[in-house]
């Protein structure tokens, strides 16, 4: 996954603090994220659960159900270009909430790669 996704760890507080404009995207542009195992069934594990599995099976994954329910979609989804397309670096639970609520447009911030040193963990 790391070869394709993002090959670095990041600090969420520093990512959120970036002054990046918000734009709107169709959820259909981002829905491919639902079919990539970017979540985990158990805390501490990595990359063994697709968001679509959670969305399609309410109650089966209470940890993710709870995060989706509590997530605040007033905050934008952060994305960056990686390998061959824009991917979510923060906000997949928000994207899932948009999907569950049948909201067709999502707010995103496109993070330029030049800003990686501002939020990447050393």
Cα(27)–Cα(10) distance, rounded to whole angstroms? 24
Domains in the chain with CATH codes: 24-114 (3.90.1530)
Cα(33)–Cα(82) distance, rounded to whole angstroms? 13
Cα(53)–Cα(60) distance, rounded to whole angstroms? 9
How are beta strands 105-110 and 77-82 bridged, if at all?
parallel
pLDDT tens, per residue, the chain with 122 residues: 555 678 888 999 999 999 999 999 999 999 999 999 999 998 877 788 999 999 999 999 999 999 999 999 999 999 999 888 899 999 999 999 999 999 999 999 999 999 999 999 97
Predicted TM-score of the model (pTM): 0.92
What is the b/e burial string over 14-38, where b = at least 16 CB atoms within 10 angstroms of the residue's CB?
ebeeeebeeeebeeeebeebbebeb
pLDDT for the residue numbered 3: 59
């Amino acid at each position: 996954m790391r070869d394709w996704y993002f090959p670095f760890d990041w600090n969420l507080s520093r990512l959120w603090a970036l002054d990046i404009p918000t734009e709107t995207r169709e959820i259909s542009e981002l829905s491919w994220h639902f079919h990539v195992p970017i979540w985990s069934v158990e805390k501490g594990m990595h990359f063994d659960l697709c968001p679509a599995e959670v969305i399609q099976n309410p109650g089966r994954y209470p940890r993710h159900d709870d995060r989706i329910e509590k997530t605040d979609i007033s905050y934008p989804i952060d994305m960056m270009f990686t390998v061959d397309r824009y991917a979510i670096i923060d906000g997949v639970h928000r994207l899932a909430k948009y999907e569950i609520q049948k909201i067709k447009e999502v707010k995103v911030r496109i993070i330029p790669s030049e800003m990686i040193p501002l939020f990447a963990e050393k």
